[in-house]
Every structure is written in structure tokens, then in C-alpha cells.
Amino acid sequence: MKINELRHRIDVYGKIEIENELEEVDYIDSKIKTIWAAIIPQTASLQRGQVETILSNTTHKIIVRYSTGKDITQNMYIMFRGKRFDIKYILNPYFKNEFLEIFCSEVIE
């Protein structure tokens, strides 16, 4: 993969710790960082649900530089153009520490 193929700006969201008005620890979703990425669609399927609803299961592979994505974990999610991508797993191909492949499923609301 070449650096110029990372042409999409994605936002990485996760839980951050805050203190509420009762001085208790609470967690909220907040944007952690914005980084460059390549987004590659992988698979898609449609399923029929109850009461004639149609469910979509779409997966994507998001590639980021290792140095900018090494602190991304599975309990975070990615936003791109108003769409949410839940992280399923993260790979470091051949343990080269050059790029990370983040496998996600798109959340259809």
C-alpha cells in the first residue's frame, strides 16, 4: 500500500472518562482523533427480519498507518461521512509495524 492511497479522513471515537456533578467517574463517547485512511468494502449481505424489515450486514477493511493507529482498540468505533463502523478486529500484517488493517462492520440505522 502506498501512502497516497490513504485519501479518506476518518474520525476515531471511544469512551473517555469524566467526572460528573456527583464527583463520580462516568464514561462518554467522544472523538479521540482524526486520521487518514483507505476504506475498502469487503462483503455485504441482506437478511429479512421480522415484520418485513430488511437488515444489511456490510463489512469494510480500513487501512491506517501503524504510527497513527497503534492505540486504536476494539471497543472504539470509526465515523466516516456520517456512517458508523464498529471495529471487529485489528491486524498488523506480517508484524511489520507499517500499516494496520481494521476490519469493521457498518452500522445501518
pTM above 0.75, yes or no: yes
pLDDT digits (tens, 9 = 90+) for 25-35: 899 999 999 99
Structure confidence at residue 4 (pLDDT) = 78
pLDDT digits (tens, 9 = 90+) for 9-22: 999 999 998 888 88
Report whether 102 contacts 63 (CB < 8 A): yes
**Residue 72 buriedness (CB in 10 A; 0-12 / 13-18 / 19+):** buried
Spell out the domain ranges in the chain. Answer: 3-107
CATH architecture of 3-107: Beta Barrel (2.40)
CA distance 72 to 101: 11
